Structure formats: structure tokens, C-alpha cells
Amino acid sequence: MDLKPIYKNVIEGQADAVESGVKAALAAGVDAGVILNEALIAAMDEVGNRFEDGDFFVPEMLIAARAMQAGLALLKPHLTAIDVQAAGKIAIGTVKGDLHDIGKNLVAMMLEGAGFEIVDLGVDVTPEAFVKAVQEGANLIGMSALLTTTMSNMSATIEALKAAGLREQVKVMVGGAPVTEEFARSIGADAFAPDASSATRVARQLVA
Amino acid sequence: MRNNQDMPTSDQINLHFRVLSDEKIERIYQATLECLERTGVNVMNAEARDLFTGAGAHVDGIRVRIPPHIVREALDSCPNGFTLWGRDGRTQMDVVPGQIHFGPGLTSSYFIDPYTGERQRSRRQDVATSARVIDALDNIDYLMGLALPEDVPPERAPVFEFAEMVMNSSKPLMAWGQSLQNMQDIYRIAVAAVGGEEHLRQRPIFALFAVGLGPLVIPDVIIANAFWAAEHDIPIVYHGPGVAGVSAPITGAGTLVVELAGSLAGLVAIQLKKPGAPVCIGSVPTPMDPRNGRPLYGSPELSLYSAALSELATYLDLPLMGTSGASEAKTVDLQAAIESTTQVIFSLLSRTTIPHDAGFLDCADIGSLEMLVMNDEIIAMARRLMRGIEVDDETLMLDLIDRVGPGGEFISQKETAKNFRKEIWLPRLMDRQPWNQWANSGSLSMLDRIQARIREILETHTPHPLPDGAVETITAILEQRQ
């Protein structure tokens, strides 16, 4: 069976068409792992390439990721545990005192599209809430702040992770308008990403 | 009912300009009412939810759906604006539809040092420097920090920012609180600056700048601060934000609905708390950069949507805070001039009451005095455009034309001497010299002249003095919680 239409519909962000295509392929006896690799993942790689080349923009990338997720949900019962292992589990939120969640939401959507499991802690997230998320299995933390007045709470979270003895088992990435590479280093974060698309690349490197 | 003050307009806008027809305005307003009733807003503050419940809105958890009659009643009880005063007791800024006052922006992480030209993290002294420069500029009428200082306790940065502004300029101010304690400290500083609480209540020198979350969220602390301000007779500027394509629909019309609905929801909450409290609505209607989701301050859409919001505010007889004088450029370059000039012209054409953000670069993340001073000049030039062309017997000058006759000259006529200053705008910073004179006077660029002007202000301008003892009181307020 030709998997090209599924591949094409993922790239075009046609979730319904991807779902019906995946259903038809499964019914025709195509191996779920083959559908995953040759249609869904191959399509997202192409989407990534087009984004890097400047042909695709964020909204196109996000609807493609959503279409991919729709197909993946149908495949999951047919896949082995190894096939579906998430790229990582990231707990993400704006730091204590900061309510500006546009950037954070965008990063979460991009990471989800890249295969990460997202634990969205929302806005105004206390260091304790981040600690709890790590205790519950997150291996990556993403913190965001828009204003310098709340930025300092990023280091409070890192200190809380240390105090809980969890710092070694989790990677910490930070971002937001006032955050810089130097600031990230100074508070002992593992990585800094200047925008949502580079956040995906950085997160992949961190858990690789 | 509405307590209209009907103040005269200071700007003469004689050019004809409309983004929205009457029909489109009515359509967007009705859509906004429908959005508030059907979708409603999330209200994160318990007192505000109780007020909405009491008024008859449909409250379901944090979601509050507001029927049109509640919005209309709030619009009826809200005055059509307010007056802010300078702490000198003389400067008066009427924030009412028809008036236009430009101002800078706030919370930028970076500031360009006027002497080294370096982009560096914002410091307390940058707020002081900005306030001093703004105090001397003719076309910037109010103050915002233009730098969010990092060398002060972060949670109290708005208080230090306010103190530096009030000590270095006597123009009206916009304050942001972040916490109720900060609001109270800012209020006490303002009381010290005008020499008593009664003076402040009679002639408020600042408004609270309050920004909701987009789309359609009234945040807890923000509205709590606004309630506190309303109870203390401090006017409020309430923004309903939305970035087109990210926190608002991608279309201009959809973005206008989300932003107007967000602003009006805040206005309604404030009116329910204190009927008659003055509110100026606002928004920064940026579209997103499809490349990364960042709001685009330099985009043509910002100018267009902002002008449309101003027309909607005028229709509702409310003042509007718009955006003007900002750019996505990283330095004060050609792009910065192109983008900010467009915004200034659109703000004036659409009669935006208090455009802010003049002096911003790089997505409102860099405060630049060079940008601010350049915009002071752009505003002056654009104001001349707005006056248009006066046509009457006197200006047609048929008698003069006849007297001079064919082949004659006008340059030595008394009418010319009498009227040229009125007719022909004379720049302060733009160069109009012939090449040789320009070369002989140092071949200075626009940026060179802007920088010279900034230094001249910083070295010679002295702001109006504070009352005796005020500096000591302000210093004590700043130090008490450290």
C-alpha cells in the first residue's frame, strides 16, 4: 500500500485525512512500525527541513505536528513499547510571579510536535511545583519569564531541585525575552533557547 | 450617566482618514458584545467574580459570561476620560477622545547608554536619564520607565522606577504595580511629590497601567491593583491584549474583537467595583512573526489595527492607549525611522489618545533615547501634516497675487514674513542645509544630531524642583523594605 498520501497529509496538516489513511493502512495489514517511520516521522523530518529552509512557518509546523499526533494515537495500540518511547518528559511553566504564557505555550506545542511528553504546569509556577513534577518522572524542566523582575525565580527553582537531591536526574532549560545564555549559565541551568523552534533542538540535545 | 467634560482638542487633525466605516465599527462592536456574552472571560480574582455575579453575569467557575446590558451600563457609568497633572501643578494632560499625547514604553530589559552607545541591561539610572530627557521634549507628554532596572530588588522594581521618574521630571506618569504593596508605595511617593494626599486626589499625577492576559483573561493581581487604584481616585489604563495569530485570531477583525472584549471586560469589572472610576482602554495590536511567534512592533498591521481600535474607542467615547514610535530594528537605523514614522502618522490620523512605546527597539526589549528623540521630531513633523491646508479668503491670498502680479516675487512681501512660520514647519534636528554648508559644519548625520541633543539636555536641563523634604521621604520609602 502506498503510504505517500499519509506522508503528504501530515506535511499539509490534514489530521482527518491522516487518521483515515492510517486506519486504511492498518486494515490493509501494513506494519504499524513501517507506517510510523515511513509516513509520520519521515513527514515530520521534511516539515523540519522546510522550516529550517524558511519555506514553512510556525503555524504550518504546528498543524503538521497535530496531524502527526492524530495518526500516532491510532498506531499506538499496534506498536511495541520501544517504538513509542517519548523523546523525553518535560515539565514546563512560567516561573513564580510571571503570568506571560504565550512563549511557554508555543514551546510546549513545538516540543509536543517533536515527540516530547508535556507536563504543562501553567503560569506562576512555584519551585516546589517543578520539584514535584521531577519526582513524578519529568527528566527535563522548561522555565520561562518575560520580565527581569521574575527572572530570579528561575534560580530559586534550581536551588529547590538541589535541595531535594534531584538536580542530577533532570535537565533544566530556560527562556524568555530577558533571559540570556550568560544568565542561564550563571544560575546553573543546562541550556538556554532564544525561541520556540530552537527550544526543540536544544531539548533534543539535552536528552540525547 | 456619563459625565462628559467635552474638552477642546489640542491637535488639529484636518485630514480625512478612516480605517473602518461606520458599518464596520458597529459590526465589530456587536461581535465584541457577542464574544463577551457567548465566550466570556476567565476572571482569576474572587472579588471581581463576586462583583460580576452580583451584576447578573453568568459565572461558571472562573469563566464569566457578560450579557450586553452589563457592558452598556458600565460604559454609561465610565467617564469619557480623565486629566493627569504634572507634579508642578500646572502641566495638564487631558486623556479624552480627541486629544493626543505621546509617551514612551516600559519594562524593557535593555537600554542603550546615551554616552557609550552600548546596549546593556537596564539600570536604575537609565530610568532617571530617560525621565530627564522626556522632561525636556516638546512632543512627549508623559512618562513610563523606558528601562526596567535590574540593579534594585526585582519585586520592587516598579517602585524604584516610579521614584526615579518623579524625581527627574514633572510630567504626568504611568505606573505599574505588580503587587499591592508596590501600589501603596507608589501612591505614597506620589503624595510626597505633590506635597499631600489631598493634592494628589484633586490632581492625580499618575495613572495605573494595567495589562490583562490574552486572550480574554483578567489576572488576579492586575485587577486587584486596579480596584485599589479606583478606590484611591487613580485613573486606570486597562489593556486587553492579543497577538494576532497567537493569542488572538489571525485576522485583523478577529484580533480587534478579542482585544476590545478583553479591554471592556476589565473596564466593566472596574465600573462594578467603583462606578464612575475613569478608565482608558488600550491594546498593543501586534501581529505575530510567523517565523517564531514574536509580536511585531514594527509591522504595518500594528499601525492599521491600532488606528482601527482608536476609531472603535472614539465610537464608545472612551480614550485609547495605542502604540507609536517603536521598531523591530536593533539600532536607530533606517528601518527604525520607517517603522516609527508610519506609526506616528497613523496614531495622529486616527486620533489615538495616548499612544505609548516611543523609544522602543527590538520587540519592546530595548529602550533607546536616540529613538525617543528621533520620534519627538517625527511627531512634530507629522503634527504639521495633520493641520492640513486651510482654505478661506485670507489663505487664498487673491489680493496679494494680484498685487504681486505675473513675474513678481513673494519672498519680500509682508504677508510672507507674517505667515511663513505658521505655514512652513521648521525642524529641530533634520538637516536642510546645502551640501557645502553641511560639510563645513561637520558633515553631521541625523544620528549625530540626535546624540548631541540628548547630551545637551542631560547637561543643561533641570527639572522642576520637588517640594522640600520630598526627596528624603521618597528615599525613606525606597529604603524601608530593604
Q: Residue B405: what residue type? A: G
Is A96 in contact with A123 (CB distance < 8 Å)?
no
- The complex's ipTM works out to 0.82
CA distance B324 to B191: 30
Say which of A106, A148, A196 has its CB closest to residue B148. A148
Mean pLDDT of all residues belonging to chain B? 95
Architecture label for domain A89-207: 3-Layer(aba) Sandwich (3.40)
Residue B204's pLDDT is 97
Say which of A57, A102, A147 has its CB closest to residue B290. A57
CA distance B268 to A72: 45
Domain B75-386 superfamily per CATH: Trimethylamine methyltransferase-like (3.20.20.480)
The stretch B299-317 carries a mean pLDDT of 98
Provide the 3-class DSSP secondary structure of residue B149. Answer: coil
Q: Give the cell for residue B324.
A: 507609536
Provide the 3-class DSSP secondary structure of residue B375. Answer: helix
* DSSP summary character for residue A39: I
CA distance A169 to B325: 47
CB atoms within 10 A of CB B425: 14
How many CA atoms, within 13 angstroms, populate the side-chain half-sphere of residue B474? 26
Residue B193's pLDDT is 97
Is B15 in contact with B389 (CB distance < 8 Å)?
no
Smallest CA–CA distance from B222 into chain A, residue:
A99
Asked if the C-beta of B413 comes within 8 angstroms of chain A's C-beta atoms, the answer is no
Q: pLDDT tens across A108-141, in order?
A: 988 888 889 999 999 999 999 999 999 999 999 9
Residue B315 falls in which region: left (phi positive, over 0), alpha (psi -120 to 50) or beta:
alpha
Residue A84's pLDDT is 65
Of all residues in chain B, what percent are helix, strand and coil, respectively (each to 5)?
45, 10, 40
Provide the 3-class DSSP secondary structure of residue A126. Answer: coil
Q: Which of residues 327-346 of B touch A (CB under 8 A)?
A: none
CATH 1.10.1240.10, chain A: domain bounds: 4-84
Q: Give the cell for residue B40.
A: 466570556
CATH 3.20.20.480, chain B: domain bounds: 75-386
Q: pLDDT tens across B236-266, in order?
A: 999 999 999 999 999 999 999 999 999 999 9
CA distance A92 to A102: 12
Predicted TM-score (pTM) of this structure: 0.92
Is A177 within 8 Å of B109 when comparing Cβ atoms? yes
Does the structure show a pLDDT above 90 at B8?
no
| Chain B positions in Cβ-Cβ contact with residue A195 (cut-off 8 Å) | 292-294
Q: Are strands B279-282 and B236-239 parallel, antiparallel or unpaired?
A: parallel
Q: pLDDT tens across B91-134, in order?
A: 999 999 999 999 999 999 999 999 999 999 999 999 999 999 99
* DSSP summary character for residue B295: B
Fold of the domain built from segment(s) A4-84: 1.10.1240
Q: pLDDT tens across B403-461, in order?
A: 999 999 999 999 999 999 999 999 999 999 999 999 999 999 999 999 999 999 999 99
Say which of B107, B154, B290 has its CB closest to residue A58. B290
Is B246 within 8 Å of A102 when comparing Cβ atoms? yes
